[in-house]
Chains A and B, each alone.
Chain A
Amino acid sequence: MLIPCPYCGPRDLSEFTYQGDATRVRPDPGSTDQAAWNAYVYDRVNTAGDHSEFWQHSGGCRAHLRIVRSTLTHEVKSVAYARDSIHERSRA
């Protein structure tokens, strides 16, 4: 599997580290809602299809990336710097 890093270009999977589901939204740090924290930590949809996820190009430019990958074919549908998508989310 190749991941097209926005800085480095297409690179081998061995240079990347998976950092989990990118659709999770962390509850407010002050929240004591146990169900919300439980859902944040444990609940995963286990998507069969397009999945939004964080990766780090740890063996390369070390950028954190947000990738949409098909879990059925491993096709990478989109790649962006994670910081850009996080800025988008905080502006929304």
Chain B
Amino acid sequence: MVEIVSALEPVYRRGAHGNRDGGSAITLWETQPGSIVQVTSWPGKEGAALAAINAAASLDVTADAGAGVFSDTRSAFGFAPGRWLMVDQAEGMGDTLRDRIDTQTGTVTDLSHGRTAIAIEGERAEWVLSKLFALDFSLAAFPVSVGKSTAHHEFFTLIQRTATDRFDLYVYRSFARSFWQLLCTSAEEVGYTVD
């Protein structure tokens, strides 16, 4: 397989940055999944598409809006009617899903090289993300495992909450470097570590 080169590489500065009073309130890092795949079902075929995702990935995503699951290596969530994102740290999930979802059921789009995956974790993660997105990031409105699609200006972003204090963000690769710098700037106030 082709080696995935990080879009963030020129601006990815490991270490502690920003306000150092009290240390880092969040940690940022690029999670670099081997597979990022979008599945879209035709109207009426949502159940079949979802069953294929669950079978291929050994996951248990339900049909509810925004419902998601995750494990150490995989995650999946709905982000629009009949559309899901499936992420795997291993490569090859695009081919696996394509084998299981025929053209009568829906479409499989391999975005592994088209998206950059960024994790933000820490006690001020909600605070920092609230600066960028017009979303309610509180645990009550955005429970663990749920996925949401949203946007900050041109940065169309898919977000899954993967812990009470962690969110995983998926942005277009071509905007990722700019978005990363914006995220870092937004985190300076609370202090952050790039892992």
Contacts and interface: CB of A to CB of B under 8 A. Distances in A.
Interface string A55-73: 0001111110000000000
Interface residues of B, number: 14
Contacts of B149: 8, 60-62
A37 interface: no
Interface residues of A, number: 15
B194 interface: no
Interface in B131-151: 134-135, 148-151
A40 interface: no
B79 interface: yes
Contacts of A58: 151
B114 interface: no
Interface string A29-62: 0000000000000000000000000000011111
- Chain B CB within 10 Å, residue with most, of A7, A58, A83: A7
Contact of B80 (A11, A14, A15, A63): A63
B66 A8 contact: yes
Interface of B: 43, 65-66, 79-81, 83, 134-135, 148-151, 156
